Chain A
Amino acid sequence: MISKKVADVKEAMKGIQDGMTFMLGGFGLCGIPENAITELVSSNIKDITCISNNAGVDDFGLGLLLHKHQIKKMISSYVGENEEFERQMLSGELEVELTPQGTLAEKCRAAQAGFPAFYTPAGYGTEVAEGKETREFNGKMYVLEEAFKADFAFVKAWKGDEAGNLIFKGTARNFNPCMCGAATITVAEVEELVPAGELDPNQIHIPGIFVQRIFQGENYEKRIEQRTVRPRN
């Protein structure tokens, strides 16, 4: 067994530097790497590029990094929940690259799987396709999109073992599996870290080969953005 276990978030983040590009899993606040984000905030790292579907909310998730002006550029598909983000974007302080959600996911998966680029129909005929190569296949037009290049991927899983194998829960899965192995170093934080051999190999969502460092996460808040319920009767 090749162990990927590191002692804590500090050891897991070794090597982060100003100006780097990071991938961060999560959809809204669901399945975000809370421990990695907290550590990025306290590290005071700056001029970073973040690839993440959303930008958090004003006081949680990536919003915490935005408040300290640590992010130079965001690559996201939807940023509607964050007023500080909108303010920084409209004032030009923050560079923003909006990417269709499926394209964002596929640019991660392509990096993970060794494809330099792929054709997608998403965005053809819109400003997203401006300056990009297009091509017709079977009478339909497609846009050439390139794989992401990133220094670190920070992902969050439900359970993991020392070998780096990961299991996700519910819709907290989202972008996390796509980002594993899509950066030079993938750091996984988990709610429950177990010794190798305790997870059923049949149930593994992401094999440990895609993960370089894994650690036991702490103090998960798991904030709910829209608490919607129905009456009991």
Chain B
Amino acid sequence: MLDKNGIAKRIAKEVKDGYYVNLGIGIPTLVANFVRDDINVEFQSENGVLGMGPFPFEGEEDADIINAGKQTITTLNGASFFDSATSFGMIRGKHVDLTILGAMEVSETGDIANWKIPGKMVKGMGGAMDLVASAENIIVAMMHTNRAGESKLLKKCSLPLTGVGCVTKIVTNLAVIEVTPKGFKLLERAPGVSVDEIKEATEGTLIVDGEVPEMTL
């Protein structure tokens, strides 16, 4: 079974040379720590920066340079700043190659819910609806089950949707799963996790095609 860093580490393998990548808040943010350093990748933050770097050294924080999580950041050589309309132009116009975001629920048809729990939590969708409606390469990073132990990979989402039929891949603490027209296809198992355990934790249709390899990190 993977922890949050393990999920981020596995997703980092999906990041290819020359990619512009948008990282959501939470586990997705950790992905930047594990991207191979022999490839060239630029991270986009929806609040208006391309070419995000690591956190600043203490004393060098700049209130005017933050990421979408409102954290102080730095920029790398080749970085640029732009306004919010331009930022979402990059996203809607499919100029960003890969989007990695968290979710509360994903359905076997690729629907995603991650912005609202009616009556309990209403923080807003931020840029998530724009991202999922536009990107063609969306990876969801999340735990396979919620705190109550219920599956987050469902036949149909129960929470208000963020987007319809948009998720292509899911990396959880248990597995790597591809969303196909026939349902969730199991691609890889997390270290030490059996196919049966993944089946048990998946409410939606799980397609197991032959021997499922254990993932390498």
Residues of A within 8 A of B (CB): 27-31, 53, 76-81, 86, 89-90, 96, 98, 100-106, 108-109, 120-128, 158, 168-178, 205, 222-232
Contact present for A124 and B72 (CB under 8 Å): no
B87 at interface, CB cutoff 8 A: yes
Shortest Cβ distance from residue A93 to the other chain B in the assembled complex, whole angstroms: 14
Contacts of B61 in A (CB 8 A): 224, 227-229
Q: Looking at the complex, which one of B65, B68, B111, B162 makes contact with A170 (CB distance below 8 Å)? A: B65
In the bound complex, what is the Cα–Cα distance between A79 and B70 (angstroms)? 13
Chain B residue contacts of A78, Cβ below 8 A: 123-126
Residues of B within 8 A of A222 (CB): 63-64
Q: How many A-B residue pairs have CB under 8 A?
A: 186
A sample of 29 inter-chain contacts (CB < 8 A) reads: A30-B64, A31-B64, A78-B123, A79-B122, A79-B124, A81-B70, A86-B122, A100-B128, A101-B88, A102-B129, A103-B129, A103-B130, A105-B87, A105-B88, A120-B130, A122-B134, A125-B111, A126-B129, A126-B160, A128-B129, A168-B81, A168-B83, A169-B64, A174-B83, A177-B85, A225-B71, A228-B71, A229-B56, A229-B58
Judge whether B64 and A106 touch: CB under 8 Å: no
Set of chain A residues within 8 Å of B57, measured between Cβ atoms: 229-232
| A121 / chain B contacts, CB cutoff of 8 Å | 92, 133-134
Q: How far is the CA of A53 from the CA of B85 in the complex (A)?
A: 12
Q: Do the beta carbons of A80 and B92 come within 8 Å of each other?
A: no
Q: Which residues of B contact A172 (CB under 8 A)?
A: 63-64
When C-beta atoms are compared, the residue in chain A nearest to B134 turns out to be: A121
In the complex, which of the residues B59, B64, B81, B126 contacts A101, with contact meaning CB atoms closer than 8 Å?
Answer: B126
Mark out the residues of chain B between 125 and 148 whose CB falls within 8 Å of any chain A CB in the assembled complex. 125-130, 133-134
Closest CB in chain B relative to A145 CB, distance in Å: 11
User: In this assembly, does B151 line the interface, its C-beta being within 8 Å of a C-beta of chain A?
Assistant: no
Tell me, yes or no, whether B26 is within 8 Å of chain A by CB. no
Q: How far is the CA of A173 from the CA of B45 in the complex (A)?
A: 13
Of residues 83 through 102 on chain B, the ones whose CB sits less than 8 Å from some CB of chain A are 83-85, 87-88, 91-92
A126 touching B83, Cβ below 8 Å: no
Residues of B within 8 A of A86 (CB): 122
Binding site for A on B (CB under 8 A): 45-49, 54-73, 81-85, 87-88, 91-92, 111, 119, 122-130, 133-134, 160-165
| Bound Cα distance from A232 to B54, whole angstroms | 12
**What's the Cα separation between A223 and B67 when bound, in Å?**
15
| C-alpha spacing A98/B123, complex, angstroms | 9
Q: Which of A100, A176, A224, A225 contacts B83 (CB 8 A)?
A: A176
Please give me the 9 A-B residue pairs with the lowest Cβ-Cβ distance, nearest first.
A102-B88, A102-B130, A125-B164, A80-B123, A170-B64, A100-B129, A105-B84, A222-B63, A121-B133
A223 to B73, CA, bound (A): 15
Find out whether the CB atom of A100 lies under 8 angstroms from the CB atom of B125.
yes
Taken together as a complex, chains A and B put the C-alpha atoms of A223 and B70 apart, in Å, by 11
Q: A128 CA to B124 CA in the complex, in Å? A: 11
Task: Given the known inter-chain contacts A105-B84, A127-B160, A230-B57, please indicate yes or no for A171 contacting B124, CB distance below 8 A.
Answer: no
With most chain B CB atoms within 10 A of its CB, the pick from A79, A108, A174 is: A174
Query: How close is B83's CB to chain A, nearest CB, in angstroms?
Result: 4
Complex interface: chain B residues within 8 A of A228 (CB): 55-56, 61, 71-73
B81 CB to closest chain A CB (Å) equals 6
- Assess the A80–B124 pair: CB atoms within 8 A: yes
